[in-house]
Amino acid sequence: MKWNRIIVVGISILLLPVLLNGSTISPERGVMAYSVEREDAMPVIVSDTNPFYALIATPVAIYYDEENQQHVEPLLVENFSSPSRAVERFMEMYDMDNPIVIDGGDVANVSISLATDIWQHVEETVIVKNDFNGYSIAINLLPLASYKGIPVFVADDVSQIMPTLKTLGVKTTYVCGDIDGYGKVVRFDDATKAYEYVMEFVKDKFGEVGYIVMSNPLDITKPRVLDSVEYEFTQTIPSVAVLPAQSLYVASQALLGKDLFGIHEFEIPDNYTYARVKIDLINLDSDNAKELGDGLFIMVMNPEGRTYAYSATGAGIPEYDDNGDIVTDRLHYEFIVGNETGKYTVRVIGRWFADVKGSYDIKIRVESIDNPIDPVMERLSSLAPYLASFHRGIVFALDNFAFAGRSGMTQPGDNPDIIEDCNSHIMEIHSKLNSLLTDISDLPNDLYAVWQHYREHPIYIGILADTNMISMYYFKNPDSADMMGWGVPSDFIYGDIDPKMGDMENDTFTFYPFQENAVGRITGYNAEDCSALIARTVFYDEIISSLGEWKNTATVQTGCGLE
C-alpha cells in the first residue's frame, strides 16, 4: 500500500466550554493550531451490524486538507452474508481500489485499527461513548472530523484507547457523551451544542454552510418486544378474475354457500398498549404470478369494522428463481396500533387467471412493544456525517423529530384522527429549522429578513430519514377518501420559511406558495441501499466516463408535457 502523507495545519475557533486537566474554563474565542499526518482518503466498506462502524470510517473516506481541498472515496455499508444488489452494482461500476473492509469486531478495536493504519501523527481526535446518547451527539459533530481530517474513536471507557492516543500524539479531544476525554477536552453533552459548534466551524472554514442534512438517531433502535402471540391460516378460495370460467365457479360456490374469500380473526390482548402486527401472506399457487398477474389482496379491519390496512402481494417482494421467474408470490406487511385491543378481521381475496381457485397461507404475529416509534429504513443516520461533509454542510439530527400516534393506527397516513397532532409536531421541527437557518445566515430573529435572504441565497436541505423518523406535513386535500389516504403528505414545509399560520397551503410573503430552500428526501431500504445511492451520486462522473459516446446524446422522453 502506498502511503500519501499530508501535513494539515488548521485553525479552529473555540466557542464552547473547554475542560483542561479536569477543570472548567469559561467559554471564550481562542485560536487552536493542530497538525495532522495521515494517509490520503481510502474507500471503506463497513458491516451493517453496527452503525458506529460508518461513523468511525467517515473521516477515513472523506476529509479536507490545509487548502480546503476535498479528498473523497466511497463509504459503503454492506450486509456481508446477503449483500444488496445496489452495493454490488456500484462495486461493478466503480473501481474500488484496495478498500478497507470492516466486517465486525469491537468498536474500540476497530477505532484503534483504523487510526493506526491511517494516521501517523494527529493532535486532535473525536471520542464517542459507545451508547445511544453518544451516537446521538456524534452524528451531529462528526463532520468536524472530516473537516479537520482527524480520527474518530468509539469506546466504553477512555482507557481502552489511551495507549493509541498517546502514540499518535493527541493533545485535544472532542468528546461526545458520558466518557472521559484526554488532554484538552471540548465536551458535548447534547446534540444541539454539537451541530451549533460545527455550524460556526464551517462558516469559519468555508465561508458559508452549503447544506443541511436532517436525520434522526432513533433509526438505529427498534421497539423492545415485551410479548407476542401468533396465528396461521391456510385456505383455498375461488378466483375473482372476471373471466367466464372463474365467474361460473364463483356463482356455483355462492349457491353452495361456500366462502368467496378468506375470513380470519386475530386478537390484540387487553394488556398490549402498543401492538405491532406483522403479516406474511404467501400465494401457494404462484406459477403465473409474473406472466398473468396472479395475486392476493388483503384487508384488515379493526374491532369496529374500520379498514386499517389494504395491500396485495403485488406490493410485496417476491422470490425469484435463476431465470427471473417468480416462484413465490408473497407480501410482508406491518403496522402498529396504539391502545386498541380486541378482535381484528382479515379478509383475503385471490385472483388466478388460469385457474378457478387457488390457495394461500397467512401468518400473523402480534407483538406487544414498549413504544410505537419504529424505523422502517434502518440506520440511515449513520451516513449523515459523510453526506454533510461532502457538501460542506452540517448535520441537524434530533431524536424528538420522530412522530407516532398513541391511539389507533399510529401513522397519520393511515389515521386521519392524528393528522392534526402530526402537523403540530412538524411545525415544532419547522420552528427549530427556521431558528437554525437564522443562525446560519447571521441574521436577526426577523422572519421577513430570513425569508428575503434565503429567497435570494437558498440552501440545500437533505432529509436522510424515513417518514417515521421525520414526518411529512399533511396538507389539506378535498379529494381524500378512505383507500386513498387523507391529505397530501409533503416535505415542501421544510423548504418553506414563511407558511401562513392557519392557512398552511399559502405563504405569508407571497401570493402563491413559494419554496425558498431546496429540499429532497434521500432514502433506501436501509443504510446499505442508501450508501450505494449516495456513492452513485458522488461518483456519478467517474461511473459514466466509461460508458462511451452514446451517453452524450442519450435522452429519456416521458411525454405528458414534462420535457
Q: What is the dihedral of CA 56, 61, 67, 68, to 10 degrees?
A: -80
| Predicted local confidence at residue 481, as pLDDT | 55
| Predicted local confidence at residue 125, as pLDDT | 98
Q: Which residues contact 257 (CB under 8 A, 6 or more apart)?
A: none
Query: In this structure, which topology does domain 230-369 adopt according to CATH?
Result: Jelly Rolls (2.60.120)
Whether the model pTM is above 0.85: yes
| Predicted local confidence at residue 252, as pLDDT | 86
DSSP tag of 67: T
Residue-by-residue pLDDT tens, the chain, 563 positions: 333 434 344 444 444 444 433 433 322 333 345 678 999 999 999 999 999 999 999 999 999 999 999 999 999 999 999 999 999 999 999 998 899 999 999 999 999 999 999 999 999 999 999 999 999 999 999 999 999 999 999 999 999 999 999 999 999 999 999 999 999 999 999 999 999 999 999 999 999 999 999 999 999 999 999 999 999 999 999 999 878 888 888 888 888 878 788 999 999 999 999 999 999 999 999 999 999 999 999 999 999 999 999 999 999 999 999 999 999 999 999 999 999 999 999 999 999 999 999 999 999 999 999 999 999 999 999 999 999 999 999 999 999 999 999 999 999 988 989 999 999 999 999 999 999 999 999 999 999 999 999 999 999 999 999 999 999 999 987 765 555 567 899 999 999 999 999 899 999 999 999 999 999 999 999 999 999 999 999 999 999 988 888 888 888 887 776 65
- Distance, CA of 563 to CA of 561 (rounded, Å): 6
Which of 448, 409, 164, 224 is closest to 300 using CA atoms? 409
- Helices 52-61 + 132-141 axis angle, to 10: 20
| Predicted local confidence at residue 39, as pLDDT | 95
Q: Which residues contact 423 (CB under 8 A, 6 or more apart)?
A: 473, 474, 504
Ordered by start, the domain boundaries in the chain are 36-222+380-454, 230-369
Separation of first and last alpha carbons in the chain: 49
The 3-state DSSP composition of the chain as helix, strand, coil percent (nearest 5) reads 30, 30, 40
- Chain center to CA of 218: 10
Query: Beta strands of 202-285 (E only): which ranges?
Result: 211-215, 225-238, 262-268, 274-283
- Distance, CA of 450 to CA of 462 (rounded, Å): 19
- Distance, CA of 104 to CA of 389 (rounded, Å): 25
Residue found by looking up cell 369496529 in the block? 304
| Predicted local confidence at residue 482, as pLDDT | 52
Handedness of CA 548, 551, 553, 555 (dihedral sign): positive
| Predicted local confidence at residue 20, as pLDDT | 39
User: Are the beta carbons of 517 and 497 closer than 8 angstroms?
Assistant: yes
| Predicted local confidence at residue 30, as pLDDT | 36
| Predicted local confidence at residue 561, as pLDDT | 64
Neighbours of 87 (CB within 10 A): 21
Give how far Cα 32 sits from Cα of 168, 186, 479, Å: 18, 12, 60
